Amino acid sequence: MRELSVVELDIVSGGLSSATSLQDSLEGASNFSSLGVFAGVAEGWATGGYVKSIFGLGTLIARIGGAVIGGTTGFIVGSALGFIFGQSNSAGFQQQVRNALGTGVFG
């Protein structure tokens, strides 16, 4: 048997716990916003590549626009979720994402 992560333990026990203090909320918002920006920019850039155009100019514009919109949205959503769930939950989730990226799950 493997050991469950912090996020998995919270899910098994009935849901993610919320932040315990204002400091925990602020740390969670600052930690989770960076992951939101990274994910938003990556997703915006990737989906912008599906646009077909002459000389690739439209593709470049779509990718840049997608990266800007995705990064902004990721920052807002990541900050809000980090503020609600706190630093410990956001740190646990970030570690799971890093582990998954390292094993090629998203590739």
Confidence of residue 105 (pLDDT cuts 50, 70, 90): low
Confidence of residue 4 (pLDDT cuts 50, 70, 90): confident
30 to 34, 42, 52: CA distances (angstroms): 7, 19, 36
DSSP 1: -
Share of the chain above pLDDT 90, in %: 5
pTM score, whole prediction: 0.67
- Residue ranges covered by each domain of the chain: 21-97
**8 Å CB contact between 102 and 94:** no
d(CA 88, CA 71): 23
pLDDT for 14 beyond 60: no
Q: 36-61: per-residue pLDDT in tens? A: 888 888 888 888 777 777 777 888 88
